[in-house]
């Protein structure tokens, strides 16, 4: 079974063809980072316009790379939400038009289910599976008992992890997107500042990053008033240590409590070097296999959407021609 995936929820226009939800045949991502950089963040209206311009080109490249044509594709999977509504609409309408014209089944996909399924290219899933989702808009612990089923056991009460990275990066005057920049600086710095860790109580699997963000801002501000300053590298290293400590400890605790047979990491922040090495060290020798996607499958792409779409397709789930973009679609 070959699924064509389409993803346009934020600032990458992406299409991919995936075999049986586990094998990438082709994977094309057109990033808009350069267009948004000078504004310090994603401008929704610009994102939508770029998706319209790029969609056809990206689809042509996807078929060309695969050496396939429409006859070879069994269904079209598309991100229906969550994300920017105008951006999502471009992908949803392209998918609807193409599936209708080529008489292929249409399958709507949740963007975060996609991030989770980016891990299935490495290994088959083992249940119960615990997923740590750390992206630009989400920080969640999700338990899966079978393919396509998601139970939320913890989530952020304020900022998402990626959002915290991007906001702290802005304070440090680093270019957008800030996550990779802080990651790089952190590797050169020392954890010399004791930023707070938000544990939120003994049994909580929830997260909070806004207090940490404020603490970073206050530390820089107060130092400046005293005529002092910190090295950006040390602020980055200290900030990252706080984020990574909490993410690693809560994931470890949940893996034990729910007797997970596999732990996976998903979303853009899964590309973070500090997080990858802390989680790897924690789970090494524990008997619980840990999966983290290769760097280019951590951030938005359509291979992950096709892989999650394959599961929906196998379960007989089909979307109608009235499929609409839903910017706040719940994961269930």
Site for ligand ATP, residues 48 to 107, rule: CB under 6 A: 83
Stretch that binds Fe ion, among 68-76, 117-125, 297-305, 324-332 (CB under 5 A): 297-305
In whole angstroms, how far apart are CA 18 and each of 28, 120, 125, 264?
12, 11, 17, 20
The residue within the footprint of Fe ion, chosen from 300, 307, 313, 319 (CB under 5 A), is 300
**β-pairing verdict for 151-155 and 139-144:** antiparallel
Structure tokens at 71: 């006859």
Partners of 263 in the β-ladder: 130, 290
DSSP secondary structure letter of residue 259:
T
111 binds ligand ATP (CB under 6 A): yes
* Segment interacting with Fe ion, rule: CB under 5 A, options 52-60, 131-139, 148-156, 308-316: 131-139
Residue with the CB atom nearest ligand ATP in the bound state: 268
Which residues from 12-41 bind ligand ATP, rule CB under 6 A?
A: none
- Could you say which of 118, 300, 312, 325 contacts Mg ion (CB under 5 A)? 300
CA angle 215, 217, 221 (to 5 degrees): 115
Q: Which of 175, 110, 181 is nearest to 140 (CA)?
A: 110
CB nearer to Fe ion: pick between 18 and 216: 18
How crowded is residue 155: how many other Cβ atoms within 10 Å of its Cβ?
Answer: 15
Q: Verify binding: residue 135, Fe ion, rule CB under 5 A.
A: yes
Which of residues 189 and 268 has its CB atom nearest to Mg ion in the complex?
268
Q: Considering beta carbons, is residue 159 or 300 the nearer one to Fe ion?
A: 300
The binder of Mg ion chosen from 3, 4, 6, 10 (CB under 5 A): 10
Residue 288 annotated as lining a ligand binding site: no
Is 133 known as a binding-site position?
A: yes
Q: How far is it, in rounded angstroms, from Cα 201 to Cα 26?
A: 45
Stretch of 129-137, 180-188, 192-200, 250-258 contacting Fe ion, by CB under 5 A: 129-137
Stretch that binds ligand ATP, among 22-30, 51-59, 97-105, 175-183 (CB under 6 A): 175-183
Asked if 20 contacts 117 with a C-beta cutoff of 8 angstroms, the reply is no
Residues that bind ligand ATP (CB under 6 A): 9-10, 83, 111, 115, 135-138, 162, 165-166, 177-180, 183, 267-269, 271-272, 299-300
């Amino acid at each position: 079974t070959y699924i064509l995936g389409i993803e346009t929820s934020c600032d990458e226009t992406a299409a991919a063809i995936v075999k049986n939800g586990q094998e990438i045949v082709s994977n094309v991502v057109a990033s808009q980072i350069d267009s948004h950089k000078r504004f310090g963040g994603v401008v929704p209206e610009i994102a939508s316009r770029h998706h319209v311009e790029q969609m056809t080109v990206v689809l042509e490249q996807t078929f060309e790379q695969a050496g396939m044509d429409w006859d070879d594709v069994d269904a079209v999977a598309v991100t229906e939400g969550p994300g920017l509504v105008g951006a999502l609409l471009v992908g949803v309408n392209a998918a609807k038009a193409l599936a209708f014209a080529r008489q292929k089944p249409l399958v709507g996909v949740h963007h975060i289910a996609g991030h989770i399924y980016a891990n299935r290219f490495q290994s088959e899933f083992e249940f119960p599976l615990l997923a740590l989702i750390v992206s630009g808009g989400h920080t969640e612990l999700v338990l899966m008992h079978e393919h396509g089923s998601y139970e939320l056991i913890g989530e952020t009460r304020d900022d998402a992890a990626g959002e915290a990275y991007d906001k702290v990066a802005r304070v440090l005057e680093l270019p957008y997107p800030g996550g990779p920049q802080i990651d790089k600086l952190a590797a050169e710095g020392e954890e010399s500042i004791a930023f707070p860790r938000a544990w939120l109580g003994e049994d909580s699997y929830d997260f909070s990053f806004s207090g940490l963000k404020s603490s970073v801002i206050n530390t820089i501000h107060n130092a400046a008033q005293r005529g002092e300053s910190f090295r950006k590298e040390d602020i980055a290293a200290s900030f990252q240590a706080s984020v990574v400590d909490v993410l690693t400890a809560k994931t470890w605790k949940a893996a034990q409590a729910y007797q997970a047979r596999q732990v996976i990491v998903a979303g853009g922040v899964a590309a973070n070097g500090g997080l990858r090495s802390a989680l790897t060290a924690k789970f090494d020798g524990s008997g619980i296999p840990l999966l983290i996607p290769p760097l280019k499958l951590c951030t938005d792409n359509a291979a992950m959407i096709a892989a999650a779409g394959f599961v929906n397709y196998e379960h007989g789930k089909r979307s109608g021609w009235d499929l609409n973009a839903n910017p706040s679609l719940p994961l269930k």
